[in-house]
Amino acid sequence: MIPPLNKWYPMVEAYGYPDRIVASNKRAERLQAEYDTALKFKKLKDKVNELEVELYNKKAQQNVLQLEVFHTRKLDLYA
C-alpha cells in the first residue's frame, strides 16, 4: 500500500490567496448581479412588448374606422 502524499510532502495553505469561502461569496455576488441585470432587462422587454401590442391594437382600430368611413351602405344610397 502506498502512503498518502501528504505524509511525505505536507500540504501548506498559501496565504494571500482567496480560499473557498471568499471565492464562493464572490461567485454568489456575481450571480446575484447577473440575475438582477437579467430581471431588469426582462421587465424592460415585457414593457416594450406591451407597448407594441397597444400600438397594434390602436392601428387596427384606426383601420377599422377608416373602412367604416369609406364603406357605402344601403341606407346612405337612399338618403
- Provide the residue ranges of all domains of the chain, joining segments of one domain with +: 18-78
Quote the pLDDT of residue 39: 95
What pTM value is reported for the model?
0.56
Distances (CA, A) of 64 to 9, 10, 51: 85, 84, 20
Predicted local confidence at residue 28, as pLDDT: 93
CA distance 54 to 47: 11
Residue 54: CB atoms within 10 A of its CB come to: 10
Q: Which residues contact residue 19 at a Cβ distance below 8 angstroms, ignoring those fewer than 6 apart? A: 13
Distance CA 23, CA 17 (A): 10
Dist CA 32 CA 35 (whole Å): 5
pLDDT grade for 74, boundaries at 50, 70 and 90: low
